[in-house]
Amino acid sequence: MAELAAGLLPHAVARMGQREPVSVHLVLTGPGGGTWDVAVGTDQAVMPGRAGESAVSIVADAVGFLPPWWQTGPDQPSSVRTFTGDSRRIAGILTAASSLALD
The pLDDT tens digits for 25-73 are 999 888 888 999 999 986 544 444 444 455 899 888 887 666 554 444 4
Q: How many domains does the chain have?
A: 1
pTM for the full model? 0.74
Quickly count: other Cβ atoms within 10 Å of residue 39's Cβ: 19
17 vs 43, higher pLDDT: 17
pLDDT score, position 60: 84
Contact yes or no for 90/56 (Cβ under 8 A): yes
Domain that holds residue 39: 2-102
pLDDT score, position 43: 56
95 vs 39, higher pLDDT: 39
Adjacent-strand bridge partners of 37: 25
pLDDT score, position 37: 92
Q: Which H helix or E strand runs over 97?
A: helix 87-99
Percent of the chain with pLDDT over 90: 14
